[in-house]
Amino acid sequence: MWNTGITQVEPNKLVTRGYKQDELMGKVPFSHVVYLLFKGDLPDEKTGKLFDAMITASIDHGPTPPSAQAARIVCSGGVPLPTAVAAGLMAVGDFHGGAIENAMKILYGLVEKKNKEGKSIEEVAKETVVEFKEKKKIMPGLGHRIHTDDPRTKKLFSMAKELGVAGDHTSMFQAFQAEFVKSSGKELPINVDGALAALACDMGFDYRLGKALFLIGRIAGLVAHVYEEQTREKPMRKFDPEFQYDGPAERPLPSHYK
């Protein structure tokens, strides 16, 4: 006999984390249900709003990341969609999505240090930049190959501020980044993984769920890639690194999203 705290199943009744599934449906947005499954409780209104945006931030960044490439290539061998999507998720590792969990571990440590030693965020950030430089350690979640000013990061931090959800971990990362730029002269921005890490810490997520936060958004994009591969491409095609976007041109949100 062993225990599980996720879902209680009885004939004609499914209760997840204490909530009847048919009551969640239609009342609680799917993204908040994800939060419930990951954290054990439903978010308050503001946290729920930010969490929804956090998952959306990871949906896709085109066909070049290992996850999208792997999903498409496995698909091209002629396998069912779930197998190809799973292969894509399997590419999520230390170097692809892994920065979230690694940054979370560090941020939790730094805020704990601040609290224990009674220092300010700025003091701890400063010390840490020096320490990282000496030990040649790299801060995960800092810097990006393409985006110098990632619109997703900006949006997440501005939403967090507006909603009043950001806390010490976000401030700590921002102080670290500012200090890093000052001391190194390198204009490295906090990237989307870094923003997710900071906010997930402020929400109290276990760092071991860092990659899960990425998976949940990314699976939506991977399904789109596999479906597109199945319906637009020939099997066993030679993958050409040159591609172009031929989807809908940039457009405003439909009016019902204001």
For residue 216, the surrounding DSSP H or E stretch is helix 210-232
* Residue 242 interacts with its own copies (CB under 8 A): yes or no: yes
Judged by CB under 8 A, the stretch of 71-79, 107-115, 118-126, 172-180 that binds its own copies is 71-79
Residue 25 DSSP class: T
Vertex 93: Cα angle to 74 and 237 (nearest 5):
20
Contacts of 183 (CB under 8 A, 6+ apart): 129, 130, 133
Shortest approach of its own copies to residue 187 CB, angstroms? 13
Judged by CB under 8 A, the stretch of 117-125, 131-139, 180-188, 220-228 that binds its own copies is 220-228
Shortest approach of its own copies to residue 115 CB, angstroms? 24
Contacts of 118 (CB under 8 A, 6+ apart): none
Contacts with its own copies in 39-58 (CB under 8 A)? 40, 42, 44-45, 49, 52-53, 55-57
CB-nearer residue toward its own copies: 100 or 125 = 100
Judged by CB under 8 A, the stretch of 1-9, 118-126, 164-172, 177-185 that binds its own copies is 1-9
Contacts with its own copies in 72-111 (CB under 8 A)? 73-74, 76-87, 89-98
CB-nearer residue toward its own copies: 188 or 224 = 224
As a whole number of angstroms, the distance between CA 17 and CA 5 comes to: 7
Shortest approach of its own copies to residue 176 CB, angstroms? 22
Bridge partners for 15 per DSSP: 8, 20
- At 257 the three-state DSSP class reads helix
- At 14 the three-state DSSP class reads strand
Shortest approach of its own copies to residue 58 CB, angstroms? 10
Shortest approach of its own copies to residue 47 CB, angstroms? 11
Neighbouring CB atoms inside 10 A of 22's CB total: 12
**Binding pattern for the stretch 173-192 against its own copies, x by CB under 8 A and - elsewhere:** --------------------
| Total residues interacting with its own copies, rule: CB under 8 A | 131
Judged by CB under 8 A, the stretch of 117-125, 133-141, 178-186, 216-224 that binds its own copies is 216-224
CB-nearer residue toward its own copies: 34 or 124 = 34
Burial class (CB in 10 A: 0-12, 13-18, 19+), 249: exposed
CB-nearer residue toward its own copies: 73 or 178 = 73
Shortest approach of its own copies to residue 218 CB, angstroms? 10
> Which ranges in 91-209 belong to alpha helices (H)?
98-117, 121-134, 151-163, 168-184, 192-202
Smallest CA-to-CA distance from 51 within 171, 191, 205, 224 is with 205
Neighbouring CB atoms inside 10 A of 133's CB total: 12
* Residue 204 interacts with its own copies (CB under 8 A): yes or no: no
